[in-house]
Amino acid sequence: MGKYQGYEKYQDSGVEWLGAIPKHWGVKRFKFSVDLINNKIEAENSKLPYMGLEHIESWTGKRIEDDNALSEGLASHFRPNDVLFGKLRPYLAKVYLSEIEGLVSTEALVLRSKKYIYPKYLKYYILSRDFINIVDSSTFGAKMPRASWDFIGNLFLAIPPLDEQETIARFLDYKTKQIDDLIAKKETLIEKLDEKRTALISHAVTKGLDPNVPMKDSGIEWLGEIPEHWKIKKIQYIGLLKSGENITSQQIDKEGLYPVFGGNGLRGYFDLYTHDGHYILIGRQGALCGNINYANGKFWASEHAVVVTPSTTFEVYWLGELLKTINLNQYSTSAAQPGLSVEQIGRLKIPFPFIDEQKQIAKYLDQKITQIDQQKAKVKEAIELLKEYRTALITNAVTGKIDVRQVPIL
């Protein structure tokens, strides 16, 4: 694997998915290498901290802290150095090496290492791509696929000498931290790009593109000053706001002639359409009401989307980005099912430049946002490559494809 060398001598492990392993390593079935702990406790009667599978990150072995995590019913008891492995949807690779005593969802297997298995090595072995893939191939249940201990217990564990297990685990601790630090920096860069994108849009649609233009007070608290030559208009005088047409989930297909848009965007396809043209759609119901989407061409707008039909000339993209800046969700009613009133949206006042300036702003934003989105895409691609490298490094180390015994750790 690049700069890392393999071992001098290998032997056939006798396990198809494991392949060749170093000559001095052994193999043993899981059920002879770890104990499955089946100590169940009523969680609500215990003061021990609780973990659900949602509190374990996929593929990283890290815990997601949640001081308010609660469980009703039975939970599995674990001790420090037990390895927890989510048997529900094992492809998510929910693996955690416990540092404390606690309780975990019964959807996790609690595995306790024998004396000749180093717990952290066991954690990394279970996190290896090959192991997760073979476990995932065994699952039963279409909607809630689960792996069974009967299958996992009969899988083979590649076992180096104990001191070498510790060396491998120490190497992986060091390298995965380096990789995770790089990922964290790139995720911070994405956050900064998102902030830049938001600020760019907000300034362009509320202040314009000319920094030297005379300004005036808009009379609207959230808006502040706007260019002197801009007008203030209510949305209802710019476009007709009307909910789409009823359509059932049974009528919506994965494929069809025309896209169907709901409050949160594309829902599927239907053979009829309600609109033809370039429109802004506003989500009308639910926690994400106020969402802004664009539809172009022939499409069906459902009753959960408010369609903005122009009653005066305006640039669709300019108005859509302005509405995103306003954050219409703040005007939703507080209820079990939050919603937006069409009348309330219509009464909102917004800045309104001349159409030529709207087009200039839209063109400017299209160019700038495309650049930012391209930057984000490259950063996201780099993050995915780092994650793939992390998993590959773990897999190669615990299966003996690379020899890390002499790798310096600073």
Instruction: Tell me which amino acid residue 125 is.
Output: Y
Q: How does residue 291 score in pLDDT terms, banded at 50, 70 and 90?
A: very high
Region 220-242: what's the mean pLDDT?
A: 94
Backbone angles phi, psi at 9, to 5 degrees: -130, 140
Give, in order, the Cα–Cα distances in Å from 43 to each of 47, 71, 104. 8, 6, 9
pLDDT of residue 341: 86
Region 303-324: what's the mean pLDDT?
A: 94
Q: Which residues pair with 269 in a beta bridge?
A: 253, 259
Q: What is the mean pLDDT of the chain?
A: 94
Region 207-236: what's the mean pLDDT?
A: 94
Region 152-166: what's the mean pLDDT?
A: 98
Quick check: pTM over 0.75?
yes
pLDDT of residue 410: 73
Region 277-306: what's the mean pLDDT?
A: 92
For 141-165, b where at least 16 C-beta lie within 10 A, e where not — what string?
A: eeeeeebeeebbbebbbbbbeeebb
pLDDT of residue 174: 97
Region 162-176: what's the mean pLDDT?
A: 98
Q: How does residue 1 score in pLDDT terms, banded at 50, 70 and 90?
A: low
40 has pLDDT over 70: yes
In tens, the pLDDT along 79-122 reads: 999 999 999 999 999 999 999 999 999 999 999 999 999 999 99
Q: How does residue 44 score in pLDDT terms, banded at 50, 70 and 90?
A: confident
pLDDT of residue 336: 67
pLDDT of residue 110: 98
Alpha-carbon span 43 to 201, nearest angstrom: 49
In tens, the pLDDT along 195-210 reads: 999 999 999 999 999 9
> Radius of gyration over alpha carbons of the chain, in Å?
28
Lowest mean pLDDT among 171-175, 213-217, 263-267: 263-267
16 has pLDDT over 70: yes
pLDDT of residue 288: 81
Contacts of residue 115, Cβ cutoff 8 Å, sequence gap at least 6: none
Q: How does residue 177 score in pLDDT terms, banded at 50, 70 and 90?
A: very high
242 has pLDDT over 70: yes
pLDDT of residue 320: 96
2 has pLDDT over 80: no
Q: What is the 3-state secondary structure (H, E, C) of the chain?
A: CCCCCCCCCEEECCCCCCCEEECCCEEEEHHHHEEEECCEEEHHHCCCCEECHHHECECCCCECCCCCCCCCCEEEEECCCCEEEECECHHHCEEEECCCCEEECCCEEEEEECCCCCHHHHHHHHCCHHHHHHHHCCCECCCCCECCHHHHCCCEEEECCHHHHHHHHHHHHHHHHHHHHHHHHHHHHHHHHHHHHHHHHHHHHHHCCCCCCCEEECCCCCCCEEECCCEEEEHHHCEEEEECECCCCCCCECCCCEEEEECCEEEEEECCCCEEEEEEEEECECCCCCCEEEEEEEEEEECCEEEEEECCCCCHHHHHHHHHHHCHHHHCECCCCCECCHHHHHHCEEEECCHHHHHHHHHHHHHHHHHHHHHHHHHHHHHHHHHHHHHHHHHHHHCCCCCCCCCCCC
Contacts of residue 218, Cβ cutoff 8 Å, sequence gap at least 6: 224, 225, 226, 232, 351
CB atoms within 10 A of CB 39: 11
The two structure tokens encoding residue 92: 């998510």
CB atoms within 10 A of CB 40: 13
- Strands 258-262, 292-301: parallel, antiparallel or unpaired by DSSP? parallel
Give, in order, the Cα–Cα distances in Å from 315 to each of 21, 80, 358. 65, 61, 6
335 has pLDDT over 90: no
In tens, the pLDDT along 56-76 reads: 999 999 999 887 777 778 999
Region 361-367: what's the mean pLDDT?
A: 96
